[in-house]
């Protein structure tokens, strides 16, 4: 019994490590893709990436921690949710979305000193292109497994 549990934990650990490596690989692909598509110079890249990474961390904290927790609370309590509780959740969502907007605005202001307005606009397109490519790749891989 202990051996079975130990083996299961080992496989789980390997899976977590592999997922972490995949995440690091995806982040590296994203950096490469954006740098290449925006044609960032070495000087621009050195100033751009710390700002971008800070922005990404802060926005993902809001999206994947706060908003996810709110969605979970809504799902778990949807049948018993009162109007007062719903109003509180709406306020939490609005607050998080306002902070996301503020972060985006501040980020745009900060990077405007590093890259041109044209590259700022292109960044928005390039980010969407990268997401689409990753989604398409995921669909291909899932199709290949079936």
How far is residue 141's CA from residue 113's CA, in Å, rounded to a whole number? 40
pLDDT value of position 19:
52
Token digits for 47?
Answer: 């100033």
Task: Say which residue, 21 or 72, is predicted with more confidence.
Answer: 72
Asked if the model's pLDDT at residue 85 lies above 80, the reply is: yes
**Which residue in the block uniquely carries the two structure tokens 């100033």?**
47
How far is residue 105's CA from residue 26's CA, in Å, rounded to a whole number? 26
CA-wise closest residue to 104 among 71, 43, 63, 46: 63
Half-sphere exposure of 56 (CA within 13 A, CB side): 10
Question: Three-class SS of residue 1?
Answer: coil
CA diameter of the chain: 62
**Residue length of the chain:** 146
* CB distance 66 to 59 below 8 Å: no
Q: pLDDT averaged over the chain?
A: 86
Compute and round to an integer the Cα radius of gyration of the chain. 20
**Percent above pLDDT 70 for the chain:** 85
pLDDT value of position 23:
81
pLDDT in tens, 88-137: 999 999 999 999 999 999 999 999 999 999 999 999 999 999 999 988 88
Asked if the model's pLDDT at residue 78 lies above 90, the reply is: no
pLDDT value of position 20:
54
């Amino acid at each position: 019994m202990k051996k079975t549990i130990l083996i299961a934990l080992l496989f789980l650990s390997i899976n977590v490590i592999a997922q972490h490596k995949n995440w690091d690989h995806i982040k590296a692909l994203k950096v490469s893709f954006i740098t290449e598509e925006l044609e960032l110079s070495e000087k621009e890249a050195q100033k751009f990436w710390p700002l971008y990474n800070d922005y990404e961390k802060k926005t993902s904290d809001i999206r994947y921690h706060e908003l996810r927790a709110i969605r979970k609370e809504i799902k778990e309590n949807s049948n018993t949710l009162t109007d007062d509780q719903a109003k509180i959740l709406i306020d939490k969502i609005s607050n998080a979305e306002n902070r996301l907007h503020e972060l985006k605005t501040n980020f745009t202001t900060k990077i405007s000193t590093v890259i041109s307005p044209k590259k700022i606009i292109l960044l928005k397109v390039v980010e969407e292109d990268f997401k689409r490519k990753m989604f398409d790749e995921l669909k291909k891989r899932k199709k290949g497994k079936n």
